[in-house]
Structure 1
Amino acid sequence: MKIAIIGAGAMGSLFGARLAPLCDVWLVDAWEEHIQAIQRNGVQLTNLDGSTERVAVYATTDPTTVGGGVDWAIIFVKSHQTAQAAVWAAPMLKADGLALTMQNGLGNLEVMADVLGAERCVQGVTSHGATLLGPGQVRHAGAAATYLATRPAIAERVQRIAELFTRAGFETHLSDNLDSLLWGKLIINVGINALTAILRVRNGVLAEVAPARALMDAAVDEAVAVARARGITLPYVDARARTREVAVATAANRSSMLADVLRGFPTEIEVINGAIVREGARLGVATPVNQTLVQLVQALEATYAQRVA
């Protein structure tokens, strides 16, 4: 099986390192320093138990280098790069090749479908966590199940990649309806990502500091109200408690949004908290806390150049 992972950030590098010993894997990313480090030394992976290993993986900044014959293009880029990633994936994929998104937030599948066609796109949800430690270096920061959407026309192909993921150490299950899990992950990200970016703290601080915890709870409550208005049944009973559990379990992690802010990069605020605000407006559910979080992160992005050291 030939796999192209488009977006070799923390999650892309983790999946690439775990899958490379089992199949033909290419990492594709525009970050030259990172790709050059992988080309020289492989992905330097720190495992959950603290052990380290170097894994050789094909890596490139030029998507044409991958060539054709790709069975699966796995999309891990930031949401604002999804359309470009789909354009890159199109000439790589075999006639029956599929593109899988396991990105944060809502709307990425639809963006991919606009480029590739809905019949070639697959939704996934993973709760694994990873942190980039530097160019070519990634730490596996948390493990949980991965879920892939399936349908009769592609069931055999999805089953094969699910089995490959499981062999690589990513426990994977199939589902014909991922809405519950997709929203379950979204709501946790709503509670954690923006606040860690604004406060510039690691995840665990949100559960420890009372004012931060109150804001996290308020953002989560609004997201739950929107999910209920949409008719979504969440995969947990108490969203506040589940979000706090994740913050504690990943206490040492820097969220992806915090990492973006620290590097002066665009964030995914629009597809996380912004998605809650848009759906709330459509459904008549007030979301003032999430609206404020969106505006604060947008203000951070707009003032990167004026930041006081």
Structure 2
Amino acid sequence: MEIKKVSIIGLGALGILFGNHLAKRMPKENVRFIADSDRKVKYMNEHVYCNGEPCDFLYVTPEETCEPADLLIFTVKYEGLHEAIQAVKNHVGKDTIIISALNGITSEAIIGQVYGLDNILYSVAQGMDAVKVGNKLTYDHMGMLCIGDQKPGMISEKVKSVAAFFDKIDFPYEVDTNMNKRLWGKFMLNVGVNQTVAVYESKYGEIQREGEARDTMIAAMREVITLSEYEGINLTEVDLNYWLSVLATLSPEGKPSMAQDLEARRNSEIPLFAGAVLEMSEKHRVPTPVNKKLYDTIKSVESTY
């Protein structure tokens, strides 16, 4: 199947990043942002900017009838996922390929409960150092999307279709035949990086150099490695070093979304990270003291809003 029409829901950092790239390389009517009426008016009046340039996006409300998308990309925050799943229904057809760029390891299953797991490819967004303040996004490194099938060791026609599309529009990607491990690896990175930068009120540079913050980050990541053994994923120090090498490519002046959320006094995605770690910790009776401390600290900050 040739991918011609793309729909995106979520105009956060990744939504703007992906949408800006696509909109410059595809007909405007073929890249659609799904937004409710109030958001649509706000976006059209205030505009959205990417590295200083205004983005010329096409916005459609969930109620508008339209042709199904060939590719549907979720870039919402986790707390908005259930609402987004309902909002995209007019964009989903029997052949629509669905990708979730959300953090964590659960969004694919949640979307699949409504639209079927057969329509979903696993994906991991990595290597981005995008920072969004208000309606303005800035980044130095675009990163890439890793895509693959749910079952390891195979490359389906859906994966080949998305890869061919990304080749056509010069979108950075990688096909991985073990996406469960990739998802867990990114989860491990987020557990370390997002929470540590938020708690230390710092930037990527603070955890790229030796010191207390970096030690905390790595300790939190190692707790995920331990849990992965109980979950049958079996991350290792090799995986840890790979993701630390990804971290090293990011702009020292950048910061992850969790730090941006706390600065803006918004509730963070802590349930996806330390929250998930603590649930597995209790399930397997494995202590995870570093993540417990990070969780308690961030929840304490959020309680002051």
Question: For residues 88 and 256 of structure 1, do their structure 2 counterparts lie closer, same or farther at Cα, with a shift above 3 Å needed?
Answer: same
Question: For residues 172 and 213 of structure 1, do their structure 2 counterparts lie closer, same or farther at Cα, with a shift above 3 Å needed?
Answer: closer
Q: Which moved more, 1:10-19 or 1:270-279?
A: 270-279
Q: Tell me the alpha carbon deviations over residues 125-159 of structure 1, each in whole angstroms, 9 at most, x when there is no partner.
A: 12141221431x32233244422123799933332
Q: Tell me the alpha carbon deviations over residues 38-93 of structure 1, each in whole angstroms, 9 at most, x when there is no partner.
A: 536865322xxxxx544422135x32246342222200111121121111122221
User: What's the secondary structure of 2:121's corresponding residue?
Assistant: strand
- RMSD over aligned Cα atoms: 2.9
Partner in structure 1 of residue 50 of structure 2: 45
Question: For residues 151 and 108 of structure 1, do their structure 2 counterparts lie closer, same or farther at Cα, with a shift above 3 Å needed?
Answer: closer
Q: Tell me the alpha carbon deviations over residues 173-218 of structure 1, each in whole angstroms, 9 at most, x when there is no partner.
A: 3334301111111111111111222222112113346222221122
CA distance in 1, matches of 2:37, 2:197: 24
Partner in structure 2 of residue 15 of structure 1: 18
Partner in structure 2 of residue 115 of structure 1: 114
Contact 1:191 1:220 in 2 (8 A): yes
Contact 1:38 1:57 in 2 (8 A): no
2:134 is aligned with what amino acid? G
TM-score, length of structure 2 as denominator length = 0.85
Partner in structure 2 of residue 89 of structure 1: 88
CA distance in 1, matches of 2:174, 2:248: 24
Contact 1:13 1:27 in 2 (8 A): no
The 5 Å alignment of 1:8-157 reads 8-20=11-23, 21-23=25-27, 24-29=30-35, 38-39=43-44, 43-46=48-51, 53-60=53-60, 62-65=61-64, 67-129=66-128, 130-135=130-135, 137-150=136-149, 155-157=156-158
Q: CA deviation at 1:238?
A: 6.0
Instruction: Give the share of equivalent positions with the same residue, in percent.
Output: 25
1:90 is aligned with what amino acid? K
CA distance in 1, matches of 2:246, 2:19: 28
CA distance in 1, matches of 2:294, 2:10: 26
Contact 2:101 2:124 in 1 (8 A): yes
Question: For residues 151 and 187 of structure 1, do their structure 2 counterparts lie closer, same or farther at Cα, with a shift above 3 Å needed?
Answer: closer
Question: For residues 30 and 117 of structure 1, do their structure 2 counterparts lie closer, same or farther at Cα, with a shift above 3 Å needed?
Answer: same
CA distance in 2, matches of 1:30, 1:193: 29
CA distance in 1, matches of 2:47, 2:21: 12
Q: Which moved more, 1:210-219 or 1:186-195?
A: 210-219
TM-score, length of structure 1 as denominator length = 0.84
2:115 is aligned with what amino acid? L
Contact 1:128 1:144 in 2 (8 A): yes
Question: For residues 255 and 219 of structure 1, do their structure 2 counterparts lie closer, same or farther at Cα, with a shift above 3 Å needed?
Answer: same
1:17 is aligned with what amino acid? N
Q: CA deviation at 1:26?
A: 1.4
Contact 1:125 1:146 in 2 (8 A): yes
1:44 is aligned with what amino acid? Y
User: What's the secondary structure of 1:70's corresponding residue?
Assistant: coil
1:2 is aligned with what amino acid? K
1:204 is aligned with what amino acid? G
Question: For residues 226 and 154 of structure 1, do their structure 2 counterparts lie closer, same or farther at Cα, with a shift above 3 Å needed?
Answer: closer
Q: Which moved more, 1:144-153 or 1:247-256?
A: 144-153
Q: CA deviation at 1:248?
A: 6.5
Q: Tell me the alpha carbon deviations over residues 14-43 of structure 1, each in whole angstroms, 9 at most, x when there is no partner.
A: 10111122251112346957x557536865
Partner in structure 1 of residue 8 of structure 2: 5
Question: For residues 29 and 303 of structure 1, do their structure 2 counterparts lie closer, same or farther at Cα, with a shift above 3 Å needed?
Answer: farther
1:22 is aligned with what amino acid? M
User: Number of aligned pairs?
Assistant: 296
Q: Which moved more, 1:250-259 or 1:151-160?
A: 151-160
Contact 1:192 1:247 in 2 (8 A): no
User: What's the secondary structure of 1:258's corresponding residue?
Assistant: helix
Structure holding more strand per residue:
1
Question: For residues 68 and 59 of structure 1, do their structure 2 counterparts lie closer, same or farther at Cα, with a shift above 3 Å needed?
Answer: same
Q: CA deviation at 1:97?
A: 1.3
